[in-house]
Structure 1
Amino acid sequence: MPYTYIIYSRTIDRFYIGSTSDDINERVRKHNSKHKGYTARANDWTIVHVETFNTIQQARLRERQIKSWKSRAMIERLCNFKNS
């Protein structure tokens, strides 16, 4: 099942928005493993928001929509996020 997801790293105080058709827990495990790319900067990524879709195309459209907001405040509202 395809997903759009938002993960958060307390270490770098950043969100990452992505989409996948893989198992969501496996995808987060990959973000926390050694690799190159944006999420390689930390290894404490946790899921803070997930939406499911019927197709990967729908999930990618939603990912792009959220990224187009360019607003941390809107992302925090979407996730009901409180950094404590």
Structure 2
Amino acid sequence: MKALIYILQFKKSGRFYVGSTTNLERRIRQHKRKHTATTNRFGDFDVVFTQEIESLERARWAEMKIKSWKRRDFIEKIIKDDKISFLEE
């Protein structure tokens, strides 16, 4: 099953949220309804990046890897390059 990894950027704080899903529209609706603690706490956001990945398992792996970096510049590079380069390795 195809999946997506996505990055949200919160409008007020500029912080990022990284997630993965098989249904982006449904997941964004959940975020807008404040179904997650992060989107409930940080408010309005923009979807600033999406990339299709061959499986949900691989998307979850990529999500965890990105979250482990803890550095804003790595996430900004993904957005700027419009791809997750380590997935091509």
Shorter-chain TM-score category?
0.7 to 0.9
Residue identity over aligned pairs, in percent, reads: 35
Which deviates more from structure 2 when the two are superposed, residues 25-34 or residues 56-65?
Answer: 25-34
Per the TM alignment, residue 36 of structure 1 is displaced from its structure 2 partner at its CA by 4.5
Q: Which residue does 1:44 correspond to in 2?
A: 44
Alpha-carbon distance in 2 for matches of 1:36, 1:54: 25
Alpha-carbon distance in 2 for matches of 1:36, 1:6: 14
Q: Specify every segment of 5 or more residues in structure 1 that has no aligned partner in the other structure, as ranges.
A: none
Count of matched residue positions in the alignment of Structure 1 and Structure 2: 80
Alpha-carbon distance in 2 for matches of 1:78, 1:36: 23
Q: Which residue does 1:56 correspond to in 2?
A: 56
Per the TM alignment, residue 77 of structure 1 is displaced from its structure 2 partner at its CA by 1.5
Moved over 3 A (4+): none
SS of corresponding position for 2:44: coil
Matched, 1:15 2:7: no
Alpha-carbon distance in 1 for matches of 2:36, 2:3: 23
Q: TM-score, normalised by structure 1?
A: 0.82
Cα root mean square deviation, aligned: 1.8
Per the TM alignment, residue 53 of structure 1 is displaced from its structure 2 partner at its CA by 1.3
Alpha-carbon distance in 2 for matches of 1:75, 1:55: 21
Per the TM alignment, residue 37 of structure 1 is displaced from its structure 2 partner at its CA by 1.0
Q: Specify every segment of 5 or more residues in structure 2 that has no aligned partner in the other structure, as ranges.
A: 82-89
